[in-house]
């Protein structure tokens, strides 16, 4: 990323590499990222949440579906730090388990969006004429689709048959990840195309072309690595958006089934008990909010850190 | 200036292919879906098989795909959207009953969002990196990280359950007349409109701030100031109008997300609009209603995109002359 643009005369950075230890690209990005304090805080909170849901179920060894009618709707206590739901199930255990699904959905949907978007954007950016026009028309078309209604429509139409093929849990997971990812690639495609259009005319690509590099090698070796900065930022934000999308579906009762307590699903179950058990809704809601906020700040920090034109 | 006529017509002609594209996407989804729209009738033991077969024939379910698509498109465009399985009335009547409420709620929340985003964004841009700017930017980050379903529940928890100030179920049958009627409507609309409006205001404030910040550094603004114009005139007449151009584009791009938020909000507060109609139709397996509501949402997106394009031409006359 650094070095993709020639430093203009007004941007004269003191050459730190010439004095002392050479600084690697990763070290430089980390140095720049650290300066955004809220992004650093967001990264720490995010790390805590991810570690919590990854290791939590082993440390807090309570079954997520142990029904205990003596402890129905119990407020938070030492026995049940997050309280219990209407069946007396421990909310902390459910939230730790559901968080894995929520975050996994976010990451997987982001991966689909980034891969599809990069491929579409790269093809559009490298080809001129009709292919480019057609792909961009498709991108604009997808951008103007009403996403949530279509997500609901597709899930409604395909849910039952996919469940039969691969089982209820995997089926819902695959479907939700595919549709969320399938409706989020457009911004990445536009970013990648814009980057490609400017990078493919740069001198270093011309040099590679002059040396006889094939088109594939030009793209994979020279253009794509330099175009990834904005894509990483967009991908980070996409994780947050995908987590919100999954929670929204689950909150509407059309996402994961009740035995998979993702955060949105827990919130959906809790909304009818707001008056007697507000903590039940507050914990998953706050977790979604904190996760999304942290990811957004990390994205903001990465935007600053990965932009070579910004001097930090 | 030859602004309106030809320009509007040209935008209309550009909007048509996207409407066609969306209809193809919708129809493909429907055609690829396993099972068929008459599944409800076939599995119903009260409907004899020969009646179901006659219906299939009557609706041409066995014709080639292209014929079926064209017939479906013509029917959709004519407003012939079929018959709701669950409500036992025509789908278009059902949607026309619900649509005004949705438009009212979305419209007033957008108005609220503009009333917040425009002054806050512009003021923050005139004082970049000041305390006000930092507080505003932190609040906008929090604002668009808070999902609408959580804000909605929080507002219900605070204002309906704890304080008991506002009703949390939106009712269309208010037994009151005169001023009291409007007052009750206003009271029950406060929370849904606030939830949607604040969420939109958060992202719009960011757009307005960065667009205004780009414009405010330009030379013509310095010229306007050095002519001795009042700061207020410089900001309102010179900065804001030009800053609005990129904002309009971004807002138009956000429209599908606004409708998503509207569905969630209607569901939480039980607002009788087309969003909650969609959810209840999905839960009741009412395919004609689901298709029609999705189609209406798509048309609304295209309509508002068209409006944004026309607004764009007014904000930047160069565009309409190209």
What residues have CB less than 8 Å from A140, skipping those under 6 apart? B18
What pLDDT, on a 0 to 100 scale, did the predictor assign at position A164?
75
Q: Do B144 and A147 touch (CB under 8 A)?
A: no
- C-alpha dihedral sign at B223, B227, B232, B236: negative
* Beta bridge partners of residue A84, listed in sequence order: A90
Q: Do A253 and B259 touch (CB under 8 A)?
A: no
- Determine contact: A146 vs chain B, CB below 8 A: yes
What pLDDT, on a 0 to 100 scale, did the predictor assign at position A114?
93
What pLDDT, on a 0 to 100 scale, did the predictor assign at position A301?
87
What pLDDT, on a 0 to 100 scale, did the predictor assign at position B62?
64
A30-72 pLDDT, tens per residue?
A: 888 888 888 889 899 999 988 888 887 777 777 777 677 676 7
What is the enclosing helix (H) or strand (E) of B102? helix B91-126
State mean pLDDT over B282-302: 81
- Determine contact: A135 vs chain B, CB below 8 A: no
Examine the pLDDT at B151 and tell me if it is beyond 80. yes
What pLDDT, on a 0 to 100 scale, did the predictor assign at position B120?
92
The Cα–Cα gap between A141 and B159 comes to: 41
State mean pLDDT over A276-296: 87
pTM reported for the whole predicted model: 0.83
What pLDDT, on a 0 to 100 scale, did the predictor assign at position A3?
41
What pLDDT, on a 0 to 100 scale, did the predictor assign at position A110?
93
Nearest CA to CA, how far is A146 from chain B (Å)? 5
State mean pLDDT over B68-82: 76
A185-221 pLDDT, tens per residue?
A: 998 998 899 888 888 888 998 999 899 888 888 888 8
Examine the pLDDT at A5 and tell me if it is beyond 50. no
Examine the pLDDT at B191 and tell me if it is beyond 70. yes
Of the listed ranges A282-291, B125-134, B154-163, the one predicted with least confidence: B154-163
The Cα–Cα gap between A73 and A281 comes to: 12
Nearest CA to CA, how far is B146 from chain A (Å)? 5
User: Which chain B residues touch A296 with a CB distance below 8 Å?
Assistant: 141, 144-145
**Average pLDDT along chain B:** 80
Contact A264, A247 (CB under 8 A): yes
The Cα–Cα gap between A120 and A123 comes to: 5
Question: If pLDDT is split at 50, 70 and 90, which confidence band does A6 have?
Answer: very low
State mean pLDDT over B1-22: 72
Helix (H, G, I), strand (E, B) or coil at B72: helix
- Helix runs in B146-178, H state only: 148-155
Measure the N-to-C terminal CA separation of chain B; round to a whole number of Å. Answer: 13
User: Which chain B residues touch A248 with a CB distance below 8 Å?
Assistant: 147-149, 260, 264
Helix (H, G, I), strand (E, B) or coil at B37: coil
Examine the pLDDT at A111 and tell me if it is beyond 90. yes
**Average pLDDT along chain A:** 82
CB atoms within 10 A of CB B120: 21
Examine the pLDDT at B42 and tell me if it is beyond 50. yes
Q: Do A145 and B291 touch (CB under 8 A)?
A: no
Q: Do A158 and B34 touch (CB under 8 A)?
A: yes
Give the residue on B whose Cα is nearest the Cα of A284: B150
Examine the pLDDT at B148 and tell me if it is beyond 90. no
- Determine contact: A252 vs chain B, CB below 8 A: yes
ipTM rounded to 2 decimals: 0.80
- C-alpha dihedral sign at A219, A221, A225, A226: negative
The Cα–Cα gap between B194 and B188 comes to: 11
User: Which chain B residues touch A137 with a CB distance below 8 Å?
Assistant: 17, 21
Question: If pLDDT is split at 50, 70 and 90, which confidence band does B1 have?
Answer: very low
CB atoms within 10 A of CB B60: 12
Of the listed ranges A161-165, B52-56, B284-288, the one predicted with least confidence: B52-56
Contact B19, B77 (CB under 8 A): no
* Beta bridge partners of residue A90, listed in sequence order: A84
Instruction: Compute φ and ψ for A81, nearest 5 degrees.
Output: -55, -30
- Determine contact: B195 vs chain A, CB below 8 A: no
What pLDDT, on a 0 to 100 scale, did the predictor assign at position A113?
93
Q: How far is CA B158 from the centre of its chain?
A: 27
Contact B27, B299 (CB under 8 A): no
Examine the pLDDT at B39 and tell me if it is beyond 70. no
What pLDDT, on a 0 to 100 scale, did the predictor assign at position A73?
67
Q: What percent of chain A has pLDDT over 90?
A: 14
- Determine contact: A149 vs chain B, CB below 8 A: yes
Examine the pLDDT at B185 and tell me if it is beyond 80. no
- Determine contact: B169 vs chain A, CB below 8 A: no
Interface with B, mutate which of A151, A153, A238, A276 (most B CBs under 10 A): A153
Pick B77 or A228 by higher pLDDT: A228
Pick A181 or B10 by higher pLDDT: A181
State mean pLDDT over A178-184: 88
Burial (0-12, 13-18, 19+ Cβ within 10 Å), A259 = exposed
Question: If pLDDT is split at 50, 70 and 90, which confidence band does B37 have?
Answer: low
Examine the pLDDT at B17 and tell me if it is beyond 60. yes
Of the listed ranges A80-89, A122-131, B100-109, B152-161, the one predicted with least confidence: A80-89
Measure the N-to-C terminal CA separation of chain A; round to a whole number of Å. Answer: 15
Examine the pLDDT at A8 and tell me if it is beyond 70. no
For chain A, the helix, strand and coil percentages under 3-state DSSP, each to the nearest 5:
70, 0, 30
């Amino acid at each position: 990323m650094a070095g993709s643009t020639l430093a203009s005369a007004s941007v004269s950075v003191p050459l730190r590499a010439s004095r002392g230890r050479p600084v690697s690209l990763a070290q430089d990005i980390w140095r720049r990222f650290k300066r955004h304090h809220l992004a650093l805080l967001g990264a720490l909170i995010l790390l805590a949440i991810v570690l919590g849901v990854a290791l939590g179920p082993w440390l807090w060894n309570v079954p997520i579906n142990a029904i205990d009618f003596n402890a129905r709707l119990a407020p938070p206590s030492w026995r049940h730090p997050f309280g219990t739901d209407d069946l007396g199930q421990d909310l902390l255990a459910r939230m730790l388990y559901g968080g894995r699904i929520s975050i996994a959905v976010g990451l997987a949907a982001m991966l689909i969006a980034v891969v599809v978007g990069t491929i579409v954007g790269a093809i559009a950016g490298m080809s001129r004429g009709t292919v480019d026009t057609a792909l961009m028309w498709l991108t604009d078309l997808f951008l103007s689709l009403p996403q949530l209604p279509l997500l609901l429509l597709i899930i409604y139409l395909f849910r039952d048959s996919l469940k039969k093929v691969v089982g209820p849990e995997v089926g819902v997971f695959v479907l939700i990840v595919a549709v969320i990812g399938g409706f989020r690639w457009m911004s990445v495609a536009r970013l990648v195309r814009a980057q490609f259009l400017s990078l493919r005319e740069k001198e270093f690509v011309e040099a590679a072309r002059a040396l006889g590099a094939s088109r594939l090698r030009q793209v994979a070796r020279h253009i794509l690595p330099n175009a990834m900065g904005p894509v990483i930022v967009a991908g980070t934000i996409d994780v947050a958006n995908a987590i919100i999308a999954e929670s929204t579906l689950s909150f509407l009762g059309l996402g994961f089934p009740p035995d998979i307590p993702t955060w949105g699903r827990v919130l959906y179950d809790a909304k009818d008990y707001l008056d007697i058990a507000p903590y039940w809704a507050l914990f998953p809601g706050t977790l979604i909010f904190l996760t999304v906020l942290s990811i957004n700040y990390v994205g903001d920090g990465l935007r600053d850190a990965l932009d070579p034109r910004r001097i930090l | 200036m030859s602004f309106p006529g030809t320009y509007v017509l040209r935008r209309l002609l550009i909007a048509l292919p996207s409407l066609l594209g969306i209809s193809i996407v919708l129809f493909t989804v429907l055609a690829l879906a396993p099972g068929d729209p008459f599944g409800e009738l076939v599995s119903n033991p009260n409907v004899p098989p020969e009646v179901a077969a006659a219906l299939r024939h009557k609706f041409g379910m066995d014709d080639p795909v292209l014929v079926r698509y064209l017939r479906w498109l013509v029917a959709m465009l004519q407003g012939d959207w079929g018959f709701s399985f669950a409500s036992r009335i025509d789908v278009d009547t059902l949607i026309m009953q619900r649509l005004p409420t949705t438009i009212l709620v979305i419209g007033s929340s957008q108005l609220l969002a503009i009333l917040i985003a425009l002054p806050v964004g512009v003021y923050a841009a005139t004082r970049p990196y000041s305390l006000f700017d930092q507080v505003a930017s932190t609040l906008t980050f929090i604002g668009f990280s808070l999902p609408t379903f959580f804000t909605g529940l929080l507002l219900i928890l605070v204002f309906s359950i704890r304080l008991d100030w506002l009703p949390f179920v939106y009712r269309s049958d208010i037994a009151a007349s005169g001023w009291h009627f409007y007052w009750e409507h206003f009271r029950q609309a406060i929370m849904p409109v606030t939830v949607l409006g604040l969420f939109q205001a958060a992202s719009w404030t960011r757009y307005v701030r960065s667009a205004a910040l780009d414009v405010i550094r330009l030379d013509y603004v310095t010229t306007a100031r050095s002519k001795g114009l009042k700061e207020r005139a410089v900001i309102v007449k010179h900065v804001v109008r030009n800053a609005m151009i990129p904002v309009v584009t971004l807002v138009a791009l956000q429209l599908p997300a606004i409708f998503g938020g509207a569905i969630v909000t209607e569901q939480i507060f039980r607002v009788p609009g087309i969003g909650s109609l969609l959810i209840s139709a999905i839960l009741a397996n009412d395919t004609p209603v689901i298709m029609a509501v999705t189609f209406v949402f798509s048309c609304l997106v295209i309509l508002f995109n068209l409006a944004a394009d026309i607004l764009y031409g007014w904000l930047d006359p160069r565009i309409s002359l190209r």
